[in-house]
Amino acid sequence: MKVTSSPSPSLKGTMSPPGDKSISHRSLILGAIADGESTVTGLLTGEDVMNTATALRQMGVDIVISLHTKTAKIHGVGLNGLRTPDAPLDMGNSGTSARLLMGLVAGQNITATFTGDASLSKRPMKRISDPLSMMGARLSSVAGDNAMTLPMTVHSQRAPLRSMDYTLPIPSAQVKSSILLAGLNCEGTTHVVEPIPCRDHTENMLAAMGASIQVDGPDIRLTGQHPLKPQDFTVPADPSSAAFPTVAALIIKWSDITLPAVGMNTRRNGIFTTLLEMGANIELLNPRDIGGEPVADVRVQASALQGITVPPERAPSMIDEFPILFVAASYADGDTVMRGLHELTVKESNRLQVMADGLRAAGVSLTLEGDDLIIHGRNRPPYGDVEIDAHLDHRIAMSFLVLGMAAQRPVTINDATPIQTSFPDFIDQMTRLGAKLTPD
Please, which residue, 177 or 246, has the CB nearer to ligand S3P? 177
28 touching ligand S3P, by CB under 6 A: no
Residue 167: Cβ-neighbour burial (10 angstroms; 0-12, 13-18, 19+)? exposed
The three-state secondary structure class of 72 is strand
User: Can you tell me the distance from the alpha carbon of 263 to that of 322, in angstroms, rounded to the nearest whole number?
Assistant: 17
394 touching ligand S3P, by CB under 6 A: no
User: Can you tell me the distance from the alpha carbon of 232 to that of 335, in angstroms, rounded to the nearest whole number?
Assistant: 46
User: Can you tell me the distance from the alpha carbon of 284 to that of 223, in angstroms, rounded to the nearest whole number?
Assistant: 38
The three-state secondary structure class of 360 is helix
- Size of residue set near ligand S3P by CB under 6 A: 10
Q: Is 219 a catalytic residue?
A: no
123 touching ligand S3P, by CB under 6 A: no
Which alpha helices (H) appear in 278-347, and where do they start and end?
Answer: 322-330
Please, which residue, 96 or 274, has the CB nearer to ligand S3P? 96
For the CB of residue 210, give the shortest distance to ligand S3P in the complex, in Å.
22
Q: Write the single-letter amino acid at 16.
A: S
**How much of the chain is in helix, strand and coil states, percent to nearest 5?**
35, 25, 40
What length does the chain have?
440
Please, which residue, 124 or 363, has the CB nearer to ligand S3P? 124
User: Can you tell me the distance from the alpha carbon of 199 to that of 195, in angstroms, rounded to the nearest whole number?
Assistant: 13
For the CB of residue 35, give the shortest distance to ligand S3P in the complex, in Å.
24
The contact mask relative to ligand S3P for 85-104 (x = CB under 6 A, - = no) is: -----------x--------
Q: What is the CA radius of gyration of the chain?
A: 21
Asked if omega into 151 is within 30° of 0 (cis), the reply is yes
Please, which residue, 102 or 257, has the CB nearer to ligand S3P? 102
Per the CB < 8 A criterion, the answer to whether 338 and 271 are in contact is no
Please, which residue, 199 or 391, has the CB nearer to ligand S3P? 199
For the CB of residue 170, give the shortest distance to ligand S3P in the complex, in Å.
7
For the CB of residue 177, give the shortest distance to ligand S3P in the complex, in Å.
6
Residues between 253 and 292 with contacts to ligand S3P, criterion CB under 6 A: none
What are the φ/ψ torsions at residue 196 (nearest 5 degrees)? -115, 120
Please, which residue, 322 or 331, has the CB nearer to ligand S3P? 322
Per the CB < 8 A criterion, the answer to whether 406 and 331 are in contact is yes
Q: Which of 8, 22, 185, 349 binds ligand S3P (CB under 6 A)?
A: 22
120 touching ligand S3P, by CB under 6 A: no
336 touching ligand S3P, by CB under 6 A: no
For the CB of residue 347, give the shortest distance to ligand S3P in the complex, in Å.
6
The contact mask relative to ligand S3P for 179-208 (x = CB under 6 A, - = no) is: --------------------x---------
User: Can you tell me the distance from the alpha carbon of 133 to that of 121, in angstroms, rounded to the nearest whole number?
Assistant: 20
Residues between 337 and 366 with contacts to ligand S3P, criterion CB under 6 A: 343
For the CB of residue 96, give the shortest distance to ligand S3P in the complex, in Å.
4
For the CB of residue 320, give the shortest distance to ligand S3P in the complex, in Å.
5
- Give every CB contact of residue 383 below 8 A, 6+ residues apart in sequence: 362, 363, 407, 408, 409
52 touching ligand S3P, by CB under 6 A: no
Q: Angle, nearest 10°, between helix axes 21-32 and 95-106?
A: 20
Per the CB < 8 A criterion, the answer to whether 102 and 178 are in contact is yes
**Of the listed 200, 238, 320, 393, which one is catalytic?**
320
Please, which residue, 90 or 320, has the CB nearer to ligand S3P? 320
Residues between 130 and 189 with contacts to ligand S3P, criterion CB under 6 A: 172-174, 177
For the CB of residue 395, give the shortest distance to ligand S3P in the complex, in Å.
9
* Number of neighbours of residue 313 by Cβ within 10 angstroms: 12
CB-facing half-sphere around the CA of 62: CA atoms within 13 A: 5
320 touching ligand S3P, by CB under 6 A: yes
What DSSP assignment string belongs to 96-124?
HHHHHHHHHHHTTT--EEEE--TTGGGS-
Please, which residue, 59 or 205, has the CB nearer to ligand S3P? 205
The site for ligand S3P (CB under 6 A) is made up of: 22, 96, 172-174, 177, 199, 319-320, 343
Name the residues annotated as catalytic.
320
